């Protein structure tokens, strides 16, 4: 079967040789194991980060001193099957994630970026608070792990192809001004849009519950990257990454 597939032009993603950022020969898995996954806020982000570390590290101790992966993500909830008593029979979850890959150093260099989405859900259990909380947390963990798997595959494709990244995009839902928000509180006046563009606070929809890590995706004052033991970490002032040879 392998001989037949190779004859058709099929090439295993992780079995093909790759090239490092310095132009040295390597493999996709070797380069993936050198990625340090930066901290991601909140419990959802920590689950996604743990899944990324596990999938990228492989079965050998990782030396994460060459690249830094910055990621952010969240979940939008939508209620389905609305009953006459205004209860719901199904909660649908749409997970989104954005990521960027940089080299480690005093002036991190931008390499690639991407985004991912996934769908999941659970059935609410009325008058069973513990069971419903458990179902919600389990579904959220699945969403985080599925997003991590999608990011892992996209990063692997980058190391295999080294294609230039496309236009900068994000899967994070936008925001709108909530006129019923508390006056004088700017945070309370902004709420997330649903993935379909409708206000997240509309009937049958909760807020987007997204995480704001704007510095990561605007390139403002990123650290040197990597763990504290990595070469170049914390060396002098950090002006932000260099994207495509252009100083920030």
Q: Cβ neighbours of residue 37 under 8 Å, at least 6 residues apart?
A: 49, 52, 53, 56, 64, 68, 69, 71
Question: What CA–CA distances, in Å, run from 14 to 122, 147, 157?
Answer: 34, 19, 9
CA atoms within 13 A on the CB side of 63: 4
68 within 8 A of 35, measured Cβ to Cβ:
yes
d(CA 189, CA 177): 5
Label the pairing between strands 88-103 and 109-122: antiparallel
101 within 8 A of 154, measured Cβ to Cβ:
no
d(CA 198, CA 203): 10
Could you tell me which residues are beta bridge partners of residue 72?
A: 98
Phi, psi of 25 (to 5 degrees): -65, 145
- What is the dotted CATH code of the domain comprising 2-172? 3.30.160.150
Q: What is the DSSP letter of 205?
A: B
Question: What CA–CA distances, in Å, run from 210 to 18, 42, 63, 77, 165?
Answer: 34, 10, 31, 11, 24
Q: How high is the pLDDT of residue 127?
A: 76
Residues in the chain: 248
pLDDT in 10s for each residue of the chain, 248 residues: 555 555 555 455 555 555 555 556 678 888 888 999 999 989 999 999 999 999 988 666 666 678 999 999 999 888 887 888 777 788 888 999 999 999 998 889 999 999 999 999 888 887 788 888 888 899 999 999 999 999 999 999 898 888 765 666 666 666 666 666 566 665 556 666 665 566 555 544 444 443 334 444 444 444 555 544 443 333 333 334 444 433 33
96 within 8 A of 115, measured Cβ to Cβ:
yes
Domain boundaries, the chain: 2-172
């Amino acid at each position: 079967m392998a001989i037949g597939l190779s004859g058709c032009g099929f090439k295993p993603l992780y079995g093909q040789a790759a090239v490092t950022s310095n132009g040295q020969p390597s493999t996709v898995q070797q380069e993936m194991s050198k990625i340090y996954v930066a901290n991601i806020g909140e419990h959802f982000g920590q689950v996604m980060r743990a899944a990324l570390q596990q999938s990228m590290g492989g079965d050998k101790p990782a030396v994460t001193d060459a690249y830094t992966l910055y990621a952010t993500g969240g979940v939008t909830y939508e209620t389905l099957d609305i009953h006459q008593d205004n209860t719901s029979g199904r909660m649908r979850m749409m997970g989104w994630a954005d990521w960027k890959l940089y080299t480690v150093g005093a002036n991190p260099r931008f390499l690639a970026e991407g985004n991912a989405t996934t769908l999941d859900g659970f059935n609410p259990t009325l008058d069973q608070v513990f069971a419903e909380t458990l179902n919600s947390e389990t579904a959220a963990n699945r969403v985080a792990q599925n997003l991590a798997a999608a990011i892992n595959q996209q990063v692997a494709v980058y190391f295999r192809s080294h294609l230039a990244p496309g236009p900068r995009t994000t899967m994070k839902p936008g925001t709108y001004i909530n006129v019923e928000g508390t006056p004088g509180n700017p945070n309370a006046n902004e709420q997330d849009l649903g993935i379909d563009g409708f206000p997240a606070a509309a009937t049958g929809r909760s807020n987007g519950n997204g995480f704001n890590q704007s510095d990561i995706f605007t390139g403002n004052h990123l650290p040197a990257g990597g763990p504290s033991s990595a070469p170049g970490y914390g060396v002098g002032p950090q002006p932000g990454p260099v994207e495509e040879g252009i100083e920030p």
